[in-house]
Structure 1
Amino acid sequence: MSIIIKPIITEKITKDGEIFNRFGFVVDRRANKIQIKGAVEATYGVSVVNVCTMNYPAKRSVKFTKGGMINGKTNAYKKAIVEVKEGETIDFYSNI
């Protein structure tokens, strides 16, 4: 099971990474904090201090247009904010 799906690269998370050593990931919805910690440590070779998780539900929307009703939906996902040990960092931009 692949626990880490992709890193989150936004302005807010990038600033948190520079100041507070916190990095964001989209993770598998069934993964718990211990599994997320192990996956980040194994993948990036850093020591994880703290893990916070958030579940985001799917959002549905309906638009009424001339052509009729259009139904849409966003995917549900789980986000993890991982805090690494002081002095360590994760570089998402390296091409290694």
Structure 2
Amino acid sequence: MNYTQILLRPHVSEKATLVKSFANQVVFQVHPEANKIEIKQAVQEAFDVKVAKVNVARKKTLTQRKANRRLVRTPGFRKAYVTLAEGEKIDFFEGV
């Protein structure tokens, strides 16, 4: 797979912002079938940085019942916490 197929989008949340500032990690939503090695190579190729390690988590699909008893499903996704090597940095929204 190409790195554009593996890295779908950066995941922006409060936790992603905290780990970026404190642990030098960046969070991406990734292809559900990509493994850690492919994710590491995709980040290194796309952003020209050195990756120390990759952790992967999956958010399950949630089903909620609304007031009039209809079901609403929120889709699940897979995200990767990419730890960058010392001194490396990826800027997404700096200067906006």
Instruction: Indicate whether 1:36 and 2:19 are aligned.
Output: no
Divergent runs of 4+, >3 A: none
- CA distances 1:16-67 after superposition (whole Å, capped 9, x unpaired): 21222111010010000000001110011110001000112111122242xx
C-alpha distance in structure 1 between counterparts of 2:33 and 2:85, whole Å: 25
Computing the radius of gyration from Cα coordinates, the structure with the larger value is 1
Equivalences for residues 1-96 of structure 1 within 5 A = 1=1, 2-65=5-68, 69-93=69-93
Q: Structure 2: give runs of 5+ residues left out of the alignment.
A: none
C-alpha distance in structure 2 between counterparts of 1:12 and 1:94, whole Å: 18
C-alpha distance in structure 2 between counterparts of 1:7 and 1:45, whole Å: 16
Q: Structure 1: give runs of 5+ residues left out of the alignment.
A: none
C-alpha distance in structure 1 between counterparts of 2:67 and 2:22, whole Å: 45
- In the superposition, the TM-score normalised over structure 1's length comes to 0.86
Q: How many residues align?
A: 92
Q: Which secondary structure state, in structure 1, belongs to the residue aligned with residue 61 of structure 2?
A: coil
Tell me the percent identity.
34
C-alpha distance in structure 1 between counterparts of 2:79 and 2:46, whole Å: 17
- In the superposition, the TM-score normalised over structure 2's length comes to 0.86
Q: What is the alpha-carbon root mean square deviation over aligned residues?
A: 1.6
